[in-house]
C-alpha cells in the first residue's frame, strides 16, 4: 500500500509545504521572518531541482526570473493584487519555481502515465465548476463576482485540451489552487475586488488564475530557447589532463 504512494511523496510534500509556509507568513507578519521563509523556499527549490534533467532544471530557474517580472508588473505596477507588506515577498520567486517544478514533473507520475489527458480533462472540469461557481454561487457568500477567473479559464482550457504539455497545466492548476486559497485565507495577499485599468471584477482569489501560467510557460520556453541560441547553456569541453596532453 505504501509503495503505491511512494512516487507521489514529493508532490504531496509540496502541496503541504505551501500552506504551512503561507500560514507562517500570515502568523509572523514581519519582514525578517518573511525573508527567512524566502531563504528556506529557495533551499527547497534547489533540492527539488538537483536531479532534474538539465533542460528541465534550466526551465525551472528561468521561470523564477520570468515569474518575478510578472509579479512586479501584476502587484507593484498594475496593482491587481497586493501583498500585505506592499512588497513582493522573498519566498514568491522560488515559490513560482516550485509550482513550475510541480507541473513539469507531474507528467511522469503513474496516475498521469496511466490516465493521461483524461485526468487532465477531469481537473479542467473541476476548474470549470470553480469558475462557474465564481459567477453564480460564490458571490452570495464572498460578495465578489469573479469575472477575472472566468476570463482566464479559456486560456487554461486551450492549453489542457490542445497542448502536448497538458499535464503541466493541469497540475499547475492544482498547485495554484492550493497556494491561492492558503495565501488569501492567511491574508498574505489580497486580490482587488475590481482590477485597476480594465475594471474587471475579481474573486479573492480568481478561480482560473492558473491560466496565467500559460503565458509564463510560453515566456519561459522562448527565453530558454533564446539563451540556448546565444550559447549560454552550452557545455564547455572538459579540460584535457596535462599528462594526456604531453603524451599526445
User: Residue 3 has what pLDDT?
Assistant: 72
Q: Judge whether 244 lies within some domain.
A: no
pLDDT averaged per 10 residues in sequence order, the chain, 248 residues: 83 97 95 97 97 93 96 96 96 97 96 95 97 97 96 96 95 97 97 96 96 92 88 58 47
81 Cα distance to chain centroid: 16
237, part of any domain = no
Is 55 among the domain residues? yes
Say how many CA atoms lie within 13 Å of 134 toward its Cβ.
25
Q: Does the residue 165 lie in any domain?
A: yes
First and final C-alpha spacing in the chain: 58
| Containing structural domain, residue 107 | 2-232
Query: Has residue 242 been placed in a domain?
Result: no
- Overall domain count for the chain: 1
Answer whether residue 240 is part of any domain.
no
SS3 of the chain: CHHHHHHHHHHHHHHHHHHHHHHHHHHHCCHHHHHHHHHHHHHHHHHHHCCCCHHHHHHHHHHHHHHHHHHHHHHHHHCCEEECCCCCCCCHHHHHHHHHHHHHHHCCCHHHHHHCHHHHHHHHHHHHHHHHHHHCCCHHHHCCCCHHHHHHHHHHHHHHHHCCCHHHHHHHHHHHHHHHHHHHHHCCEEECCECCCCCCECCCCCCCHHHHHHHHHHHHHHHHHHHHHCCCCCCCCCCCCHHHHHHC
In a domain, 239, yes or no: no
What's the pTM? 0.91
241 inside domain = no
Amino acid at each position: 500500500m505504501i509503495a503505491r504512494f511512494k512516487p507521489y511523496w514529493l508532490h504531496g510534500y509540496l502541496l503541504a509545504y505551501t500552506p504551512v509556509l503561507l500560514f507562517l507568513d500570515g502568523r509572523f507578519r514581519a519582514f525578517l521572518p518573511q525573508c527567512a521563509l524566502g531563504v528556506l523556499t529557495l533551499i527547497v527549490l534547489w533540492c527539488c531541482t538537483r536531479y532534474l534533467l538539465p533542460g528541465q532544471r534550466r526551465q525551472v530557474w528561468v521561470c523564477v526570473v520570468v515569474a518575478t517580472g510578472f509579479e512586479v508588473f501584476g502587484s507593484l505596477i498594475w496593482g491587481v493584487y497586493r501583498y500585505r507588506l506592499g512588497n513582493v515577498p522573498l519566498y514568491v520567486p522560488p515559490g513560482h519555481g516550485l509550482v513550475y517544478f510541480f507541473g513539469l514533473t507531474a507528467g511522469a507520475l503513474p496516475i498521469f502515465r496511466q490516465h493521461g489527458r483524461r485526468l487532465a480533462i477531469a481537473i479542467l472540469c473541476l476548474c470549470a465548476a470553480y469558475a462557474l461557481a465564481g459567477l453564480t454561487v460564490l458571490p452570495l457568500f464572498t460578495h465578489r463576482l469573479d469575472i477575472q477567473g472566468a476570463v482566464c479559464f479559456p486560456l487554461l482550457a486551450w492549453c489542457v485540451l490542445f497542448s502536448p504539455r497538458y499535464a503541466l497545466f493541469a497540475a499547475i492548476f492544482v498547485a495554484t489552487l492550493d497556494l491561492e486559497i492558503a495565501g488569501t485565507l492567511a491574508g498574505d495577499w489580497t486580490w482587488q475586488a475590481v482590477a485597476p485599468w480594465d475594471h474587471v471584477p475579481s474573486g479573492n482569489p480568481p478561480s482560473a488564475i492558473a491560466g496565467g501560467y500559460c503565458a509564463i510557460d510560453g515566456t519561459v520556453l522562448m527565453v530558454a530557447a533564446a539563451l540556448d541560441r546565444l550559447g549560454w547553456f552550452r557545455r564547455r569541453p572538459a579540460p584535457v589532463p596535462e599528462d594526456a596532453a604531453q603524451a599526445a
